């Protein structure tokens, strides 16, 4: 069974408005079902379709002690984060990196923004 928190700390919001509640771990990629955590139902998939710059398993998102973390899954094209109001993207590594409220994660040309639970969803 997928580990689900009692309460989401917020959501990851895609630029098209799709929201992923941050109450569980996620695996992001073109084919995240290939990851053991998704197959074991300990993480949920976020599928980014039809993008050759996105690896099958590209990045991981987790919540620990109320904080959101993202890490790269050794994707060739990289995983990047940026604070709000800037286009200065920083490539992250395979070590968990905190994604602060309002910050965004970029995978290829797709951007997901961390909206904490105290901000309304559009």
Q: Where are the domains of the chain?
A: 10-114
Angle 28-30-32 from CA coordinates, rounded to 5°? 50
What's the rounded mean pLDDT across residues 89-101? 98
Supply the pLDDT for residue 2: 47
Q: Give tens-digit pLDDT for 39-78.
A: 999 999 999 988 899 999 999 999 999 999 999 999 999 9
Q: Give tens-digit pLDDT for 75-87.
A: 999 999 999 999 9
Fold of 10-114: Tumour Suppressor Smad4 (2.60.200)
Render 16-52 in DSSP notation, one character per residue: TS-EEESSS-EEEESSGGGSHHHHTTSSEEEE--S-T
Number of other residues whose CB lies within 10 A of the CB of residue 28: 28
Q: Give tens-digit pLDDT for 1-31.
A: 445 556 789 999 999 999 999 999 999 999 9
CA distances from 37 to 47, 60, 98 (A): 14, 10, 20
């Amino acid at each position: 069974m997928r580990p689900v928190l009692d309460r989401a700390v917020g959501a990851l919001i895609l630029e098209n408005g799709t929201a992923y509640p941050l109450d569980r771990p996620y695996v992001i990629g073109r084919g995240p079902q290939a990851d053991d955590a998704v197959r074991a139902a300990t993480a949920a998939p976020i599928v980014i379709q039809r993008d050759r710059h996105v690896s099958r398993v590209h990045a991981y998102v987790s919540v620990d002690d109320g904080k959101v973390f993202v890490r790269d899954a050794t994707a060739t094209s990289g995983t990047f984060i940026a604070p709000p109001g800037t286009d200065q993207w920083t490539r992250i590594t395979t070590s968990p990196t905190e994604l602060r409220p309002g910050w965004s994660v970029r995978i290829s040309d797709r951007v997901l923004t961390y909206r904490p639970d105290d901000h309304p969803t559009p």
